[in-house]
Structure 1
Amino acid sequence: MSAVGGVRSHGDVTVYDVARALPGIEELRDHSRGLAMVEAVLSPEWESRYYSFDAHWSATEQLASMKDGQGGEYTIVLSAAGAFARGFDHESPMSPYGAAADGVTWPGVLDGVPEAFREYLTEPAFTDEDGIHVTTACLWRETADTAWRTGPVEFTGLEDHEDPDGSGGLFHHLTHRSAQAYAEWASDYYERPVDIEAVRHVLALRPLTAETVAALNPDVTLADLAEDVREIGYPTA
């Protein structure tokens, strides 16, 4: 397994590039909670949110997730063992449902997953009704690791695709973590101005204020967010 290898044409974005750009586990956890909290303010209806975070996914696990509403998603399980991330781009040529993959997870994507995370290879939330792991990109990092790791995925024959496994797009706001990057994207996605200073406040995990919430969405109050704050595990004053 490797965090940096792979066969690819120059300029392509693959899971190997994402592995190099992702932060450490705790920074990833904090940024994911911040993204989820901003989304909770911008999009009161949970089903419409792009980013979510469940601080109580199980008694020992937390779950950061993304759903783009068009079939793209990621899930990142955070536990005492470390972090296990999987992404699925339904338009990727590496999709199990595409002609090239022939109904199975792309070779190498799940190879080398350590014992600490093996249970997630059969986790129903990550597999379809036939037991196929719905994944085009997979990364993991045990607590003692100094880098994110991936399976030995070969991208030969996919040189015409700038983001063959979808990882560049799926994990974009985890590899590009500035408030500006998110605010610009969110203003386009939600089709309204998004206050960058309010985004910066929330991504820094500062306790929510009425002013910050109103700057992001005047139709939402602090009281409205109480359940989201609890679910996300967002810090309070």
Structure 2
Amino acid sequence: MKTLGDLKRLKKHLKLFAILDIIFCDEDWLRFYHFDSNWGKNLSLATIDNGAGDHVYILLSEKGVIIKGFDHESFLSPHARDEYAVYPGIYENTPHALLILLENDAMEKEEVTFCMWREADDTTWKKGDVVIPEGEDDGAEFLLGTIYHDLEDYVEWAKNYYDMPISMEIIQEIFSGIPISEEIIQSLNPERNVDAARKEIKKVL
């Protein structure tokens, strides 16, 4: 999928979205993006949760990246089938080294409507051979669309989600590589406890 970009850029954006969420919101359960750099040995986990029953789990390893998404309204949901089961083809042809990362109970492997992967030496993203009925979709475009590449779109989303003013200039500086300083945190959210935010940000970096 073109909008995801390469693995390096994807990881950078996911980390920064999670860091910004930490700054904007002191309540972990209300945040949209999370990133754990030490989910496992040489393994990072990014999650996107819209609070409406949909989620994306993104596992980043030395072998590559696997993305498992779940749109609860999708026709492909296991809950929409006569017998609860993963929709045919979703995990088809997924490399074992990446698929095995979903075996952790926390990954809710069967709660899935789409799966994508990109091995470390791949140049494109891949999906299983899934036949989606006309007029239906797997939720990938909807959910992966929240991994913004256009910072103007991200800022507009964040303003609405957190109901607060957000400086486009500061966001651009952060994505260009400026360190997340006390001044940056206070400029984005004057009410945020800086020490608490920094402690959480360390887990992302």
What residue in structure 2 maps to residue 172 of structure 1? 145
CA distance in 2, matches of 1:121, 1:20: 24
Hey, what's the Cα distance between the residues in 2 that align with 1:122 and 1:156?
28
Q: 1:37 to 1:223 in 2, by over 3 A?
A: same
CA contact (8 A) 2:3 2:149 kept: no
More strand by share: 2
- After superposition, the C-alpha distances for 1:99-155 in whole angstroms (9 at most, x for unaligned) are 4x641111111111112113134331222xxxx611111111111101111101111
TM-score by length of 1: 0.81
Find 2:85's aligned residue among 60, 85, 104.
104
**Which of residues 129, 148, 153 is equivalent to 2:125?**
148
Q: Alpha-carbon deviations, 1:139-181, whole Å to 9, x = none?
A: 1111110111110111123x2x4xx11111211132x312211
SS of corresponding position for 1:91: coil
Match of 1:8 in 2: none
Tell me by how many angstroms 1:210 deviates: 2.8
Distance change (3 Å), C-alpha of 1:187 and 1:63? same
Q: Normalized against structure 2, the TM-score is what?
A: 0.93
Residue 133 of structure 1 is matched in structure 2 by: 110
For residues 212 and 110 of structure 1, the distance between their equivalents in structure 2, rounded to whole angstroms, comes to: 42
Deviation at 1:228, TM superposition (A): 1.6
Q: Which consecutive residues of structure 2, in runs of 5 or more, have no partner in the other structure?
A: none
Distance 1:95 1:205 in 2: 39
Which structure has more RCO (C-alpha within 8 Å, separation ≥ 6)?
1
More helix per residue:
2
Within 5 Å, give how 1:55-66 maps onto structure 2: 55-66=37-48
Matched position secondary structure for 1:153: coil
Match of 1:35 among 17, 36, 47: 17
| Mapping for residues 193-232 of structure 1, pairs under 5 Å | 193-232=165-204
Q: Of the candidates 65, 69, 80, which is equivalent to residue 51 of structure 2?
A: 69
User: Which residue does 1:113 correspond to in 2?
Assistant: 94
Secondary structure of 1:56's counterpart equals strand
Aligned residues: 205
- Cα distance change of structure 1 residues 134 and 105 upon mapping to structure 2, 3 Å threshold: same
Does the 8 Å CA contact 1:36/1:52 hold for their aligned counterparts? yes
Q: Distance in 1 between matches of 2:34 and 2:102?
A: 22
Q: What CA distance in whole angstroms lies between the structure 2 residues aligned with 1:214 and 1:117?
A: 39
